[in-house]
Amino acid sequence: MSTFHFELVSPERVLFSGPVDSVVVPASEGDMTVLAGHAPAMSTLKPGVVTVAEGKGSPRRLFVRGGFVDINEAGLTILAEHAIPLEDLKPEMIANDIKNAMDDVADARTVDARVAAQSRLDGLKQLQGALVN
């Protein structure tokens, strides 16, 4: 199988950079599998799991929320607002964050605050679901 260059970058750090066989991306239009020679495309990310197959061992799985996907002749780049390897997540921390986010939604005094709080809650629920799958 042909490989291509993949890079996943968050504001904090580069989470992955190297050759891969395939990457499944949670694009806003739907999940898409990127292989070598993929047609150029750009998309926004929806909260979900990026699955990276390097050809050896189990695929790496990383949760992403917000950002952009760029597929071009040089490879695939994901610029994520938030990204974390699934193995770094602790279910009890996420459950506590969900409880706090639910309180924030209930306490929101403006439409903008409620929308922001609900968006955070939705992202956390996606993250919690990614741990189960």
Give the CATH number, domain containing residue 27.
2.60.15.10
Q: Same domain, yes or no, for 60 and 107?
A: no
pLDDT tens digits, residue range 6-24?
Answer: 999 999 999 999 999 999 9
pLDDT for the residue numbered 93: 81
Q: Same domain, yes or no, for 65 and 112?
A: no
Residue numbers of the domain that contains 95 = 90-132
End-to-end CA distance of the chain: 27
Closest by alpha carbon to 65, among 28, 100, 33, 40? 28
Q: Same domain, yes or no, for 101 and 60?
A: no
pLDDT at 72 over 70: yes
Looking up tokens 């929101």, which residue turns up?
108
Residue 130 contacts residue 48 (beta carbons within 8 Å): yes
Output 109 or 120, whichever has higher pLDDT.
Answer: 109
Cα separation, 83 vs 9, in Å, equals: 8
Q: Same domain, yes or no, for 9 and 51?
A: yes
CA angle 130, 7, 133 (to 5 degrees): 10
Q: Which residues contact 27 (CB under 8 A, 6 or more apart)?
A: 43, 44, 45, 46, 69
Q: Same domain, yes or no, for 113 and 52?
A: no
Please give the tally of structural domains in the chain.
2
Q: Same domain, yes or no, for 67 and 119?
A: no
- Judged by average pLDDT, the poorest of 42-51, 84-93, 105-114 is 84-93
